Structures are given as C-alpha cells and as structure tokens.
C-alpha cells in the first residue's frame, strides 16, 4: 500500500510510502491521497490530518519521472489537472492539514506541502520546484500557491532557478511554519494537531474559511465574510459551551454543533 492511514486521538496520519522512489508521486499515490481526503471529509472522528512521507530521507521527492516522460500535450494537461484537483480538495477539506516534512519536498512534494494548512519541516529538509530542469513547469499548483505564500519575487527565483532551499531558508521566507530537529517533524505536527482538535470544530472550520477565502477578497468584503462567520458561530452550542466553560473555569467539552 503506497498511502497508509492511521487514525488516533482524532488525528488522521496519512503516510506516503514508496521509499525506494523517495516517496515520489505517481497515479497510485494520487489515488491513495484522494481516498484519504474522502475519509477525512466524511468521518466525524477526524479532526485534523497530518501528511508525511515514510522513512528518514523524503517527504515526497517529486513526481515519478518514468510517468512524466511518457506525456503528450493532451495527457500532460490531464495529468496536471488530476493532481491539481486532488490537491485543491486537500486544501479545501474544511479540516486543518499539517505537512510533516521529514526530508526532500521537491516538485510535486513541495506542491503537496503548499496545499496543506500548516507546514512543519525537519532541519534537514530541502524544498523546491525543480521542474524547469526537466523542461516543464510546476503542474500541481506550485506556480500559484507558492507566490501566494512567499510573494512573487521569491516564487520566481525558486521556480526559475530550480534550486532547492534549506528548511531554515524556507522558514525565513514564510514557506514553513516551524523547523524542528531531524526526525521530529511528525511529533511536532502531532503536537500542533492535538492543540487544534481540542478546539471547537466549527470555530476551527470557520476560521479557516475566513482566512482562506478572505485572501481572495478586497478587505471590506473579507471583513464582511468574517462578521458573517462570527455571527454563525454565535448560533452554535459550542460557542455557548466555550463561554460557559471559561466563566466556570473548567475545560470546555466541544461537540461540533
């Protein structure tokens, strides 16, 4: 099985396991990721998702070059749209997705990380979009998401040179949220996920909507979206429970309604 799923404490860990290929993406992996997304979306027991790669060397080292080499103009477009569709579904899951980047995150691997909500990288990780070295460009959203996260100038340099950057540099430019010692990315991602799943599920989902969709809106429209979602939160049982728990000085018991 190239994509493994493990659910514990409301955290679904999705592990890409093609260690002999440095966890490179192929059609089977994309299908496995889609199945994990479907499960996370439909299963109320899943409060957060962690995506990582098996082994100590790679998160996802890129796409499977053997597959890419066979592309025609038509199949190449379909290939890109398929990956874009799955990564967009991951990005819009409605539940936080944390990338535990435990090694190389290049090409499609970097694009997978970009589609996640939060990114944690081991200090030995390398991230980049080396597609120009193969005569192509990022096809799974890298040319779009990278610029939105780190800015146009930095995205241009990363994509046009094809050179990878270190975890430290990725942190400096805002590409990753945290850098941790080698081998500790998954543990750090679990720590973040545990803090998130302890919060009110609807408030988490609405906060993600406000930030994600608000970025594409003029400020006034974004503020209107925020106010609307704030009002929706005020109708929930979780809001009443959260307020009561605070006033009563006890931990809240959120139920997602």
Q: Residue 152 and residue 131: Cα distance in Å, rounded?
A: 17
Q: Residue 70 and residue 60: Cα distance in Å, rounded?
A: 21
Q: Residue 126 and residue 57: Cα distance in Å, rounded?
A: 10
Q: Of 20, 34, 111, 226, which residue is the catalytic one?
A: 111
Given the DSSP bridges, would you call strands 97-101 and 118-122 parallel, antiparallel or unpaired? parallel
Name residue, tokens 């970025």.
215
Find the helix or strand (DSSP H, E) in which 244 lies: helix 237-247
Please indicate whether residue 111 is annotated as part of the active site. Answer: yes
Q: How far is CA 227 from CA 174, 214, 232, in A?
A: 27, 11, 9
Please indicate whether residue 123 is annotated as part of the active site. Answer: no
β-bridge mates for residue 48, sequence order: 11
Q: Of 20, 123, 131, 241, which residue is the catalytic one?
A: 131
Which active-site residues does the annotation give? 111, 131
């Amino acid at each position: 099985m190239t994509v493994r799923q493990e659910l514990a404490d409301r955290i679904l860990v999705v592990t890409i396991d093609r260690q002999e290929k440095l966890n490179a993406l192929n059609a089977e992996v994309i299908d496995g990721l889609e199945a994990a997304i479907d499960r996370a979306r439909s299963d109320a027991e899943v409060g957060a998702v962690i995506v990582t790669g098996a082994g100590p060397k790679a998160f996802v080292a890129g796409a499977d070059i053997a597959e890419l080499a066979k592309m025609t103009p038509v199949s190449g477009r379909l290939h890109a749209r398929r990956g874009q569709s799955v990564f967009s579904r991951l990005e819009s899951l409605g539940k936080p997705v944390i990338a535990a980047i435990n090694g190389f995150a290049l090409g499609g691997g970097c694009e997978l990380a970009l589609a996640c909500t939060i990114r944690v990288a081991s200090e030995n990780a390398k991230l980049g979009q080396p597609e120009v070295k193969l005569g192509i460009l990022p096809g799974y959203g890298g040319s779009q998401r990278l610029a939105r996260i780190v800015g146009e100038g930095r995205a241009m340099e990363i994509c046009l040179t094809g050179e990878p950057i270190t975890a430290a540099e990725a942190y400096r430019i805002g590409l990753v949220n945290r850098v941790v010692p080698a081998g500790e990315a998954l543990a750090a991602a679990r720590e973040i996920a545990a803090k998130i799943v302890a919060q009110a599920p609807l408030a988490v989902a609405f906060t993600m909507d406000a930030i994600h969709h608000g970025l594409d809106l003029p400020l006034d429209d974004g503020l209107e979206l925020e106010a609307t979602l704030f009002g929706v939160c005020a109708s929930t049982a979780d809001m009443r429970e959260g307020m009561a728990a605070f006033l009563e000085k006890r931990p809240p018991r959120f139920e997602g309604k």
